[in-house]
Structure 1
Amino acid sequence: MTSPDEAIERFELAFFSLFRKLGPELGLPPDLSITGPQLMMLYSIIKMQPCPTTKLAQQLEVTPSAITVMIDRLVNHGYVVRKADEHDRRVVLLEVTEQGHQVLQTIKELRTQAVKTYLSYLEPEEFDLFLNIFEKIAHNINNTKVDN
C-alpha cells in the first residue's frame, strides 16, 4: 500500500506532467481576444440566459462594481449585450451574442480535440471512473475553505 507521502509525490509528478503538456493546449488561443475570467463569465451567462448582472456577480463571487467593469469588456468585444428587463427596467439582463457563441465554439473544439488526443487510450469505464473522481475532487475543492 502506498504511504500518504508517496501518494502525494506520485500525484504531483502525474499532475505536473499532465499540466505541462495539456495546460497550454487547453489555454486560450492568442488570436482570440478573451481572457480566462471572461470565458468563465460567458459560460455562466449562457447557463443563466437571460442573466441578471446581480445574479452573475453572486455566481462569480465578485462585487457589482467589479462585474460592471468585466461586463464592459465583453460588451466592447461584441461577445455580450445588455438588455433591460421587460418587467423591471432597473434590472439589466445579459445575453451572449452570436460572436460570443462563435468564440465559445472555437475554444470548445480546440479543447475537445486536445482532450480526445490525450485521453483516447482510456477504456470507456476507465474514462467514466476518471471523470467521477475528477468531478468529486472539483466539487470538494469548490466547497472547502482553507485557512491560511
Structure 2
Amino acid sequence: MKSGKPNSSINGLLVEICKIRRNKSNELLSGAGIHAGQDILLYYLDLEDGQTVSSLVEKMGIQQGTIAAMIDRMVNAGMITKEKDENDKRISRVSLTKKGRMAHQQVADSWRKMESITAKGLSPIEQAQLITLLEKVKENLS
C-alpha cells in the first residue's frame, strides 16, 4: 500500500468499496424494514423455505448466536416463523411468512438497484471483466 492513500492498493480499494456498498445497501434496505444480514437470510429462505437453523448458519457463514438473534428479531417483526421439526423436536425450521415474502421482493428490488448503481458507466465488456476479476479475488481469499 502506498503511504497516505488507503485507496491506492487493491486491499485499500476493496475496504472502501465494501464500506460504501454496505452503507448504500443499508440505505436501500431500510425502506423495507430490513437490517444488515437479514436480506441474506430472506434470500436463502426464498431459495429453500423451511430450512434448519444449522443449515442457515452454514450457508450464511455466521455464528449460531448471531443468527439466533436475527431470527428472533425477524420472528418478532412477523417476517419469518421458527417451528420445531415434526420428526425431530431438537431441530428448528425457519420459514417465510407472507410479510417475509413481500420483504424479500423489496430486497430483490434493492439488489437490482444496487447492481445498476454499481455497474453505472461500465460497458457490458467491462462488467464481464470486472466479474471475472472479482471471481479470481474471491477464489484467492477462499
Provide the TM-score with structure 1 as the length reference.
Answer: 0.68
In structure 1, what is the equivalent of residue 95 of structure 2? Answer: 95
1:33-48 to structure 2, matched below 5 A, reads 33-48=33-48
Aligned to 2:26: 27
Alignment-derived partner of residue 146 in structure 1: none
Asked whether the 8 Å contact 1:28–1:35 carries over to 2, the reply is no
Report matched runs for 1:1-148 at 5 Å. Answer: 5=2, 9=8, 11=10, 12=12, 16=16, 20=20, 24-29=23-28, 30-59=30-59, 60-63=61-64, 65-141=65-141, 143=142
Question: What per-residue deviation string (whole Å, max 9, x for no partner) do you get for residues 15-68 of structure 1?
Answer: 747964x554322443433211222222233344321112223333313x5533
Q: Quickly say closer, same or farther: Cα 1:80–1:88, change in 2 above 3 A.
A: same
Contact 1:28 1:34 in 2 (8 A): no
In 1: Cα distance, 2:114 partner to 2:69 partner:
32
Conserved 8 A contact 2:39-2:107 = no
The total of aligned residue pairs comes to 136
Could you tell me whether the CA contact under 8 Å between 1:79 and 1:99 is conserved in 2? yes
Q: Deviations over 1:58-100 (max 9, x none)?
A: 333313x553332111111111112333333332111122211
* CA distance in structure 2 between the partners assigned to 1:43 and 1:67 by the alignment: 14
Aligned in 2, Cα 1:96/1:138: closer, same or farther, shift over 3 Å? farther
- Aligned-residue sequence identity (percent) comes to 20
SS at match of 1:104: helix
Tell me the CA shift for residue 10 of structure 1: 5.5
**Displacement, 1:133?**
1.5
* Amino acid of the structure 2 residue aligned with 1:27: N
TM-score by length of 2: 0.70
Task: Indicate conservation of the 8 Å contact 2:46/2:104, yes or no.
Answer: no
- Counterpart residue type for residue 96 of structure 1: L
Partner of 2:87, secondary structure, is coil
Could you tell me which amino acid in structure 2 is paired with residue 92 of structure 1? Answer: S
Tell me by how many angstroms 1:14 deviates.
8.6
Alpha-carbon distance in structure 2 between the residues aligned to 1:135 and 1:53: 28
CA-atom RMSD in angstroms: 3.2
